[in-house]
């Protein structure tokens, strides 16, 4: 009887220890044409087989980048030019994942576990005179949210944008 109990227990343990789903794809190395450390982006991407990065510019003041995993959006990153007299709180409320977010001490950076908005300080572009550039990141799966990781990703992405062709 004791042997049967051990076999039953071992069978239950084996059934419960199926391997966790994995990322069978390479994590993107860029968002919106801007280099990003895959290690900073990876925590926000779900397990899956395929990844696709799409980019669009629906209006001249906005560049949208979307990362899909297995055909479902996982992360969106945007570059948004706003008139320089628009209050940063307006930018934040236009980005749903950051409405109830922490604010940095210098008032230009809002972040939560699944989203962030950050001003690209010192960014100038003659096409967008009298405008300020903000980056935003949104994550679809709240279970993958991580406030500290989002703060790091957003800061690194914004710094890379500042060094990109978007800022002259």
pLDDT (0 to 100) of residue 104: 60
pTM of the shown model: 0.84
Question: How many Å separate Cα 124 from the centre of its chain?
Answer: 24
d(CA 99, CA 137): 13
How big is the chain, counted in residues? 168
pLDDT (0 to 100) of residue 137: 95
The mean predicted confidence, pLDDT, of the chain is: 87
Asked if residue 161 has pLDDT above 90, the reply is yes
d(CA 68, CA 73): 4
Extract the tokens encoding 150.
Answer: 């989002």
| Helical (H) or strand (E) element with 155 | helix 147-162
User: What average pLDDT does range 63-78 have in this prediction?
Assistant: 97
Band of pLDDT at residue 87, cut at 50, 70 and 90: confident
d(CA 70, CA 21): 13
DSSP 48: B
Asked if residue 25 has pLDDT above 70, the reply is yes
Asked if residue 11 has pLDDT above 60, the reply is no
Q: For 53-112, give the DSSP string.
A: EEEEEEETTEEEEEEEETTEEEEEEEEEEEETTS-HHHHHHTSGGGTT-EE-TTSSEEEE
Asked if residue 103 has pLDDT above 70, the reply is no
Domain ranges, ordered by start, for the chain: 23-162
pLDDT (0 to 100) of residue 18: 73
pLDDT for 130-139, tens place per residue?
A: 999 999 999 9
Nearest to 31 by CA among 119, 160, 127: 160
pLDDT over 70, % of the chain: 83
Asked if residue 85 has pLDDT above 70, the reply is yes
pLDDT for 37-62, tens place per residue?
A: 999 999 999 999 999 999 999 999 99
CB 131 within 8 A of CB 81: yes
pLDDT (0 to 100) of residue 2: 53
């Amino acid at each position: 009887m004791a042997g049967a109990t051990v076999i039953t227990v071992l069978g239950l343990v084996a059934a419960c220890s199926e391997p966790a789903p994995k990322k069978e794809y390479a994590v993107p190395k860029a968002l919106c044409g801007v280099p990003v450390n895959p290690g900073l982006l990876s925590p926000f991407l779900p397990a899956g087989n395929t990844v696709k990065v799409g980019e669009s510019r629906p209006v001249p003041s906005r560049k949208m980048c979307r990362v899909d995993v297995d055909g479902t959006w996982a992360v969106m990153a945007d570059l948004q030019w706003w008139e320089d007299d628009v209050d940063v709180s307006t930018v934040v409320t236009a980005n749903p994942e950051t409405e109830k977010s922490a604010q940095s001490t210098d008032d230009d950076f809002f972040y939560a576990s699944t989203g962030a908005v950050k001003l690209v300080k010192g960014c100038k572009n003659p096409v967008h005179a009298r405008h300020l550039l903000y980056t935003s990141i949104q994550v679809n799966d709240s279970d993958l949210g991580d406030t500290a990781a989002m703060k790091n990703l957003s800061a690194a992405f914004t710094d890379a944008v500042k060094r990109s062709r978007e800022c002259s």
